[in-house]
Amino acid sequence: MALRTLESLGSLEGKRVIVRCDLNVPLKDGVITDDGRVRASLGTLQALVDQGAKVIVISHLGRPKGEPDPQYSLAPAATRLGQLLGADVALAEDTVGPSAKALVDSLENGQVVVLENLRFNAGETSKDDAERGAFAAELAAFGDAFVSDGFGVVHRKQASVYDLAQLLPSAAGFLVANEVEKLDRVVNDPAKPFTVVLGGSKVSDKLGVIENLLPRVDRLVIGGGMLFTFLKAQGHAVGKSLLEEDQLETVKRYIAEAEERGVELLLPTDIVVAEKFAADAANEVVPADAIESSSFGAEGLGLDIGPDSAKAYAEAIRTSKTVFWNGPMGVFEFEAFAAGTQSVAQALTEVDGLSVVGGGDSAAAIRTLGFADDEFGHVSTGGGASLELIEGKRLPGLEVLGW
């Protein structure tokens, strides 16, 4: 089945269109620290404004407990959205109450309003189908059509993602359609050589990705905290480095399967080992198979891949035609342990083909390290959603849109 896109809804002039965006922006003291998600929603919203639709934006922010909580108000996101659209964007004081109703009723063609945080209503995330459905019905009463454009939540069976799409004529917005197209290409039609780069803290978070992609990739590159479980599986001591003992047998199986399939498995040859987990920790580079040979002995912990590994990883990435990256190579938040992630990110910008950054910590890393999103083929707006799609799972928020 093909994903229903905006065109399938026909002319939307004068129609009330509810758009599920992902305005779940990071805030510090009420100020947005990264407006990437607001910017990502602009394409669809501007297209609807240009068509003369009456646009009702809905989103969540943070994890309020099913009731109003001022610290999770969408006010900063609504203000930023107005600035980027160059228009007045009003924010309702509630989600489906009198303020929302009054704002929706006053909408004129081409205007945009934002309803308050969806998660101020317990029905949004309820596991009870009836409670979720009741909330979705209240939202549906505001609209003539529904556009799903919050990719970061399409893996959730929530009222504004799943139930609402079944109550109104519905379609994917530009952002969701683009995410699905790029990620589907990675899994089902990658140009070769195809390289997958996985990092982050835990192997257990990436099991589904490895299972689904190992039969399809040419190279599998491992970094981050998860690499120490691979090293331990090969019989090497890893000091106090992060380790998932319960995944050792699984990792041994992956190593054997990679060899069997002729997949090039790249593990680090050197590691940056630190005395402790701190930005200013004393550190040194040691061979990956001799981590406890550092000055810190068995107390040392690995916090980044070493310079030789970073070079080898960058070369593997640069010579690929399709690259999917999820998870930093080290503790990039600390400058002393960011070089591996920096090297991988830089190499992704130099790929002659499709380079995909899989959202979450990887997207945060590239921005922290000073890269712009447009330097990459695609930067996903959904960490969990992009991983589940890459794992080959069916996502509720996409299934209801015909995918």
62 among annotated binding-site residues: yes
Q: Given strand 270-274, what is the order of strands in its sheet?
A: 283-287, 270-274, 301-305
DSSP 8-state class, residue 293: G
Selection from 98, 18, 80 nearest residue 54 by Cα? 18
Backbone angles phi, psi at 399, to 5 degrees: -60, -40
Q: Is 97 designated active site?
A: no
| 37 annotated as belonging to a binding site for a ligand | yes
219 catalytic per annotation: no
Backbone angles phi, psi at 172, to 5 degrees: -80, 145
Q: Please tell me whether 156 is known to bind a ligand.
A: yes
Q: Name the catalytic one among 20, 37, 132, 232.
A: 37
From the list 164, 62, 170, 157, the residue with the least C-alpha distance to 117 is 62
The reply, when asked if residue 330 is annotated as ligand binding, is no
- Give catalytic status of residue 223 as yes or no: no
170 within 8 A of 144, measured Cβ to Cβ: no
How far, in Å, CA of 17 to CA of 40, rounded? Answer: 18
DSSP 132-190: HHHHHHHHHTT-SEEEE--GGGTTS--IIIIIGGGTS-EEE-HHHHHHHHHHHHHHHSP
Catalytic residue among 360, 377, 383, 397: 360
Q: Which of 39, 202, 252, 367 is catalytic?
A: 202
360 carries a ligand binding annotation: yes
d(Cα 387, Cα 357) in Å, to the nearest integer? 11
239 is in an annotated binding site: no
d(CA 94, CA 90): 12
Q: Which of 253, 290, 250, 247 is nearest to 268 (CA)?
A: 290
22 is in an annotated binding site: yes
Catalytic residue among 261, 384, 393, 402: 384
3-state secondary structure of 285: strand
361 is in an annotated binding site: yes
Q: Residue 302, annotated ligand binder?
A: yes
Is-catalytic flag, 28? no
Query: Which residues fall in the annotated binding site for substrate?
Result: 22-24, 37, 60-63, 119, 156
Query: Which residues fall in the annotated binding site?
Result: 22-24, 37, 60-63, 119, 156, 206, 302, 333, 359-362
Query: Which residues fall in the annotated binding site for ATP?
Result: 206, 302, 333, 359-362
Query: Which residues fall in the annotated binding site for (2R)-3-phosphoglycerate?
Result: 37, 119, 156
Task: List active site positions.
Answer: 37, 202, 360, 384
